Structure 1
Amino acid sequence: MRLHKNLCFAVIDGLHIIFNEDEYADKVVQALLKRDKRWGSRDRGFIAETVYEIVRFKRLYAEIAEVKEPFNRDNLWRMFAVWATLRGIPLPKWKYFEDTPARKIKGKFDELLKIRKYRESIPDWLDQLAVEELGETLWTKEIAALNQQADVILRVNTLKTNIKDLQNRLQSENIETETINGYPMALKLKERANVFQTECFKDGWFEVQDASSQLVATMLDVKPGMKVVDACAGAGGKSLHLAALMENKGQIIAMDIYANKLKNLKVRAKRNGAFNIELKEIDSTKPIKKLHDKADRLLIDAPCSGLGILRRNPDAKWKLQPEFIENIKQTQQDILQNYSKMLKPGGKMVYATCSVLPSENAQQVERFLNSENGSNFKLVEDKRIFAHESGYDGFYIAVIEKNK
């Protein structure tokens, strides 16, 4: 492999913005890829994958390169040199790579591989917290899996097509996919590609959605004609899935405290041909109170630490702080206590997070069920999904029923 200066400069620029200006990696990479129209798919792939890889293993590479934050550009070039050396990529005779100690890099790497917090590149506090909650063995397996690059998974939009026709149409656009056993609406790309540029995406034939995330709407057990509330809808990936499962019949009320996310959902719903979704901003307590005892089904896809989706958001572990996790646990419980009142007697709700921490998951459900507001509910089933077992995102999904 030969390194090209313009591509390497793009990587360094991206890392500078992510590490020193606290921007989100996915937004930075999107902007980088638009920098030069002459770049082909291989060039763009190199930039995206290299940036994500160095973000993912920031602590490890910084330790080997003997640099500390805030990283200046010379520091970033040293980290880049570590990345390239460990992959056996020959370093060009550029000034940035002068005196790169290849043998020392490999020796330091072998030494640090024995220590999980360096090997998997995670903050001390996060490593300690996860060990306390999951145990050494489980956390060691899970964080290793969460440091792997995520596959690109699609969910077929059954309001417009079926899985076989989608596969054939993608193939006609030179994108090969395969089905996934146990996930009836999912397709996995055999090779990474920019699926958002395809005609079938523009026609609303699919959404990009991880396989674990696709289980959430399925477990809510919706039927056509129901009144369903998606209480933390965000940009609406699960609302769109619910619309497909309900065959556009009935009503989905997609709610969120962020109006801009709901605007995004409006665009996506139009593209998907999902016409049974009503958008409602939670700007006070009134929208919740108006729906008390009205919903046949309630989805609470709660805000969380996001530890289960580090494969696609590797910078999240550097942005997370201990106090955020403590605060978000209180938010989760408040949402359970207040939003659960929208469910009808005999109705079902799903509480889900993209976290692997029991304190955000089963312990929250238990706390709710033991509370006064939760005394009229019962746990039907719950599912803990770990990346090292499934190969997909870490998730928690609990089905809770309200007594009649």
Structure 2
Amino acid sequence: MTPAARLSAAIEVIAIIENQRIPAANALKEWGVAHRFAGSGDRAAIAGLVYDVLRRRSSSAWLMGEDTPRARVLGMLKLERGFDAERIALLCDGARFAPEPLSEAERAALRSRTLDDAPAAVAGDYPEWLDAELATAFGDARKDEAAAMARRAPLDLRVNTLRGQLAKALASLRHLGAAATPWSPLGLRIVLDADARSPGIQAEPDFLKGVVEVQDEGSQLAALFTGAKPGEQVIDLCAGAGGKTLALAAMMEGRGRLIATDRDKRQLAPIHERLSRAGVHNADVRTPKEGDPLAGLAGQSDLVVIDAPCTGTGTWRRNPDAKWRMRRGALEQRVKDQAEVLDRAAALVKPGGRIAYITCSVLPQENGEQIRAFVARHPNFETISPTKVIEPLGERAVAFQQAAMLSEDGLLMTPRRTGTDGFFVSVLKRPQ
């Protein structure tokens, strides 16, 4: 397919999403089934265009002065891809499979309009109802913070020290453009171009041998900041597919007891194969059945890790479709879920033990406000200073402290500040 034909396909897919109100992944699959002639490279390029449109949905429509699939695609080409009006006009020449030629109004918008006077929710490309929440989190910087969450994310990997070493993994994955991450001492990063297909990491020998796992650098740091140590009893209370469970196991060096569980047993399905590939032998996966899978463990754990259910606002750059599908009721439900899981964790921690509370959200209700409410309910817990929490970064800790947002309640990473997904981390201790 020509670049122009791919552009037409992207407009068609955006229309499917709009008209059928279905997730982007479903719309792309539906289009691919109906257009089997499109090769894998074509499908990857079209998906890249579609997701870039979703990242810049509001700003693109505002720039063009019209909210249609075509307008969003044209506006995205200027805002996200950096195309000027002349380059866009060459793609939209009306030839076979190409979009119709630009109108005079479209040319004028592409040449002269900017986002300088756009409202924050438009320039930052987020739902307007979230403006107050983001203003509480970031103040006047919310537009820039949200804009950073609208950019394409790199592919990050974590080196599993139970199977390999950073230097060797870096050398073996150099052909994919891998480089060390700026913060995580075990991270590798592969930056992807706009039209690039994601590299086949799962076919790489290092992945098959369990040397590397796909994990955003922010998630790696969140696991590191839990301070899990060899010989401890650690509970991963919301283990899901096991990303942080694997990181915790490596930190524990195979010593101690690691218990992984989740309220939703379907989320745990991939964890067994991942633990086996990673060489983890001290993990006990407890699937919820009848009764409490953690019965008898009250007051016994050194560390309880909560990778809390949340709105996922910090992962918008990886899942831009989600921000437009998010509703206020979902935030309210997540806040209730988080309070419940924090209270469950409190009962599991022994004197001197810790709770590490983690969200992939930037919203205050899920982060600092949640921690303050927990301490009010459980005055026998106290928050550990974030400057203490980030000490495992060693010499990088000073620069990280300047980049991240630290408060009495915890620390917040964002794409704009730390180049990671948005993650909040708070570590609380139950005194002896």
Alpha-carbon distance in 1 for matches of 2:210, 2:29: 21
Gaps of 5+ in 1: 69-74
Which residue number in structure 2 is paired with residue 137 of structure 1?
Answer: 140
- Cα distance in 1 for residues equivalent to 2:167 and 2:27: 35
Match of 2:344 among 338, 347, 362: 338
Asked whether 1:11 is paired with 2:10, we answer yes
Asked whether the 8 Å contact 2:53–2:76 carries over to 1, the reply is yes
Give the 4+ runs in structure 1 shifted more than 6 A: 30-35
Q: Give the TM-score normalised by structure 2.
A: 0.82
> Which moved further from structure 2: 187-196 or 324-333?
187-196
Aligned equivalents of 1:121, 1:81: Cα separation in 2: 16
Q: Is residue 326 from structure 1 mapped to residue 332 from structure 2 by the alignment?
A: yes
**Equivalent in the alignment of 1:55:** 54
The equivalent of 2:389 in structure 1 is none
Letter in 2 for 1:337: D
* Pairs within 5 Å for 1:10-159: 10-12=9-11, 14-25=13-24, 39=39, 41=41, 43-63=42-62, 75-84=68-77, 87=83, 88-89=87-88, 90=90, 91-94=92-95, 97-98=99-100, 100-101=102-103, 102-106=106-110, 109-110=113-114, 114-131=118-135, 133-159=136-162
Alpha-carbon offset, residue 99 of structure 1:
5.3
Whole-Å separation in 1 of the counterparts to 2:109 and 2:48: 21
Secondary structure of the corresponding residue to residue 364 of structure 1:
helix
Fraction of identical pairs, as percent: 30
Contact residue 4 and residue 98 of structure 2 kept, 8 A: no
Tell me the CA shift for residue 18 of structure 1: 4.0
Is the aligned partner of 1:276 residue 2:304? Answer: no
Contact 2:125–2:147, Cα closer than 8 Å, also in 1? no
Distance across 2 between alignment mates of 1:140 and 1:364: 24
Aligned to 1:183: 184
- Evaluate the alpha carbon distance shift between residue 135 and residue 4 of structure 1 in structure 2; reply closer, same or farther with a 3 A threshold: closer
Distance in 1 (CA, whole Å) between partners of 2:50 and 2:155 is: 18
Residue 3 of structure 1 and its aligned partner are, at CA, apart by 1.8
What's the counterpart of residue 417 of structure 2? 389
| Structure 2 unaligned regions, length at least 5 | 386-409
Equivalent residue for 1:302? 308
SS of the aligned residue for 1:316 comes to helix
SS in structure 1 at match of 2:227: coil
How far apart in 1 are the matches of 2:344 and 2:227?
22
Q: TM-score, normalised by structure 1?
A: 0.87
Conserved? CA contact 2:309–2:334, under 8 Å: yes
RMSD: 2.8
Match of 2:360 in 1: 354
In 2, distance between residues paired with 1:109 and 1:156? 45
Deviations 1:158-190 (A, max 9, x none): 11111111111113xx21211123310001114
Residues 167 and 176, structure 1, Cα contact 8 Å, conserved in 2 = no
Deviations 1:229-261 (A, max 9, x none): 100111110001111111222222111122222
Aligned pair partner of 2:215 in 204, 209, 212: 209
Question: Which residue is equivalent to 2:383?
Answer: 379
Structure 1 residues 295 and 168, CA, compared in 2 at 3 Å: closer, same or farther?
same
1:223-262 superposed matches below 5 A: 223-262=229-268
1:24/1:177 CA distance change after superposition, 3 Å: same
Q: Distance in 1 between matches of 2:306 and 2:115?
A: 44
Q: 2: distance between equivalents of 1:84 and 1:141?
A: 19
Q: Are residues 287 and 111 of structure 1, via their aligned partners in 2, closer, same or farther at CA, if it must alter by over 3 Å?
A: closer
Residues 167-217 of structure 1: CA distance to partner in whole angstroms, max 9, x if unpaired?
Answer: 11113xx21211123310001114464223323222222111111111122
Describe the shift of the 1:365–1:216 C-alpha distance in structure 2 as closer, same or farther (beyond 3 A): same
Contact persistence 1:78–1:96 (CA under 8 A)? no
**Letter matched to residue 222 of structure 2:** V
Q: Secondary structure at the match of 1:325?
A: helix
Aligned 8 A contact 2:64 2:110 in 1: no
Residues paired across the two proteins, number: 391
User: How far is 1:45 from its partner?
Assistant: 4.2
Residue 160 of structure 1 is matched in structure 2 by: 163
Deviates further, 141-150 or 238-247 = 141-150
